[in-house]
Amino acid sequence: MTDAKPAILVVDDSPGNVAQLDSILKGRYRVKAAVDGRKALEIALGADTPDLILLDIMMPGMDGYEVCAALKRNRAAADIPVIFLTAKADAVDEERGLALGAEDYIAKPISPAIVLARIATHLSLKSARDFLRDKNAYLEAEVERRSKEVGLIQDVAMIALGSLAETRDNETGGHIRRTQCYIKVLAKKLQENPRFADRLSDETIELLYKSAPLHDIGKVGIPDTILRKPGPLDPGEFEIMKTHTTIGKDSIIAAEKRLDSPTSFLTTAREIAWSHHERWDGAGYPRGLAGEGIPLTGRLMAVPDVYDALISERVYKKALPHEAAARIIKEGAGTQFDPDIIGAFEELERIFQEIACAYSDSRG
């Protein structure tokens, strides 16, 4: 059975001093001994690490200062309390020892009561530090676990709500996955553009990716007769269809109020839902915003949404091949879309096509 007593390493080149300290400490502590600095380091860095070190300064070879410095440089031994025991009683010597990381300094000749009291104090302090370190490590791990859990809940909620909108429309779950991937690669590419770099951090891009499934959440409020109509919408029906942007925004605001957080993770989703049908030239809806007046989130979502709608089959239209869809997107630069975003799209055309193939509806 392992001895539960704390282990004290006594380092002193004088056998008499080692014997004296052993007689003081035995019964309360397990005593280890070293008569030089190199042996002290070997023991301190071994399998049975001491709980505290009593270290003489004046020794041949490595002196106590060198031993202490070596201990504090080593991650495995840096937290072991060191108490200097020495006949060097000058304040300068004491300051030097403390500066190297020693916890205390006891002058020789030693008093057994003082030695025992100082050891008890520093073992108690070490125990408290170890507890706090372990507690902090546990809390950090728990915060990380909870954060991942919350992030997963957010992801599932976004995808579930986005899927709900798609089941009411003629679109599919593949549309959600594709648009998520499109907007992520598009935003990553635009990080290279000075115009966007300060607004597209990695964290922002992750929010865009998570929020994309909710871009058409407002379609849950559009009547089936309009949403599923196999032919073109008449002007009145189109006006109703356009309200899905405002319905989506209002639905997300209502969710944010329930969270009591007007700047929650849903803020990006709200912006996307409300503004992804705005046009660069101001001819979009619902507010007729133009140019930089359109939130960047909406300008980014517009390209993946239109591209995917073009390459996808719907009850009211056939799917276009990638080349035709890409041509329409590029022709919209400066009218429907932000020109710089289309510039990035042109560089990513093949990646968009690869994403479309990887998550095609035919793959089920």
pLDDT of 96: 86
For residue 41, what pLDDT is reported? 94
Tokens at residue 59, please? 């020794």
The predicted structure's pLDDT at residue 271:
94
Q: By the 8 A CB rule, do 34 and 13 touch? A: no
Distance CA 70, CA 158 (A): 54
How much is the pLDDT for 76?
86
Q: What pLDDT, on the 0 to 100 scale, is given for residue 164?
A: 55
pLDDT value of position 16 = 93
Tell me the pTM: 0.57
At residue 221, the pLDDT reads: 84
Question: pLDDT truncated to tens, each residue of the chain (364 aa)?
Answer: 445 899 999 999 999 999 999 999 998 999 999 999 999 999 999 888 999 999 999 898 899 999 999 999 998 889 899 999 888 767 787 888 889 989 998 888 889 999 999 999 999 988 888 888 777 777 777 777 766 655 655 665 555 555 555 555 545 557 888 999 999 999 999 999 999 999 999 999 998 998 888 888 888 888 888 888 888 899 999 999 999 999 989 888 877 776 665 555 678 989 999 999 999 999 999 999 999 999 999 999 999 999 999 998 876 678 999 999 999 999 999 999 999 999 999 999 999 999 999 988 765 4
pLDDT score, position 157: 58
pLDDT of residue 170: 47
In this predicted structure, what is the pLDDT of residue 158?
59
Longest dimension (CA), the chain: 105
Instruction: Identify the structural domains of the chain with CATH numbers, from first to last.
Output: 7-138 (3.40.50.2300), 169-363 (1.10.3210.10)
pLDDT score of 340: 97
Q: For position 169, what pLDDT does the model report?
A: 52
